[in-house]
Chains A and B, each alone.
Chain A
Amino acid sequence: EIVLTQSPVTLSLSPGERATLSCRASQGVGSSLAWYQQKPGQAPSLLIYDASHRATGIPGRFSGSGSGTDFTLTISSLEPEDFAVYYCQQRTNWPITFGQGTRLEIK
């Protein structure tokens, strides 16, 4: 099973700041990595797929990068609605696995 480790566990920033979230895989996943955002009481929603492709309707301030074992989700300038929990997910091998999440909170 591929283990995805996200860091930091919690990130405290202010609106307007830049957020950098990390996801490290225990073995290479190529570019088969996605990022999701989850707000309280809601289902996750797809932000980025295949490491760097924004999903439909996702604002340009969200970007993804990386390949192999190290991936980054960057939010260039935080909006109030961006404070949420973010998960990465790999689809290279079965079972599909998710990271443990990074909570992005308002400082």
Chain B
Amino acid sequence: QVTLRESGPALLKPTQTLTLTCTFSGFSLSTSGICVSWIRQPPGKALEWLALIDWDYDKHYRTSLKTRVTLSGDTSKNQVVLTLTNVDPLDTATYYCARARGGAPGHFDYWGQGILVTVSS
């Protein structure tokens, strides 16, 4: 059974660094064709793809966030960590991690429940 779960802070102040952890089970990130991605959704708005790490641990980032976003993967812990520096109220969103298979870029067949992150002074 494939599951993903996001964890991290619910509230941050502007300029702080957001660190979110995606803990998954039921698959291995080392399996060919498997990827894990972060996608966010501001309240009442559309989905926005942020970053993806694939089975070779290659990483892809949204261009507009490239200087602020970092992904890391830990096979032994089945975790993918997203770091977003210098947060702003515009980064307020529900952050989802999701699995893709069949290569990168991918389609997302399993999603975590999401975590709402609010940036406010």
Residue of B47, B62, B109, B114 most packed against chain A (CB within 10 A): B47
A43 touches B114 (CB 8 A): yes
Instruction: Using C-beta atoms within 8 Å of the partner chain, give the interface range for chain B.
Output: 20 to 34
Q: Which residues of B contact A94 (CB under 8 A)?
A: 60, 105
Q: State whether the Cβ of B112 lies closer than 8 Å to any Cβ in chain A.
A: yes
Q: Tell me the interface secondary structure of chain A in the complex.
A: loop
Q: How far is the CA of A44 from the CA of B114 in the complex (A)?
A: 10
A98 touches B49 (CB 8 A): yes
**B46, B62, B114: the one within 8 Å of A95 (CB):** B62
**A34, A56, A95: the one within 8 Å of B49 (CB):** A95
B47 touches A44 (CB 8 A): yes
A92 touches B113 (CB 8 A): no
Q: How far is the CA of A100 from the CA of B42 in the complex (A)?
A: 12
Chain A contacts to B: CB under 8 angstroms: 1, 32, 34, 36, 42-46, 49-50, 55-56, 87, 89, 91-101
Q: State whether A43 and B96 are in contact (beta carbons under 8 Å apart), knowing that A95-B49, A98-B47, A101-B46 are contacts in the complex.
A: yes
Q: How far is the CA of A93 from the CA of B109 in the complex (A)?
A: 19
CB 8 Å contact bits of B101-121 with A (1 = contact, 0 = none): 000011111011110000000
Q: How far is the CA of A95 from the CA of B106 in the complex (A)?
A: 11
Q: How far is the CA of A50 from the CA of B100 in the complex (A)?
A: 13
Q: How far is the CA of A80 from the CA of B106 in the complex (A)?
A: 30
Q: State whether the Cβ of B52 lies closer than 8 Å to any Cβ in chain A.
A: yes
Q: Which residues of A contact B108 (CB under 8 A)?
A: 34, 36, 44, 46, 89
B63 touches A43 (CB 8 A): no
Q: State whether A45 and B105 are in contact (beta carbons under 8 Å apart), knowing that A87-B46, A97-B49 are contacts in the complex.
A: no
CB distance from B36 to the nearest CB of A (A): 13
Q: State whether A43 and B109 are in contact (beta carbons under 8 Å apart), knowing that A95-B62, A98-B48 are contacts in the complex.
A: no
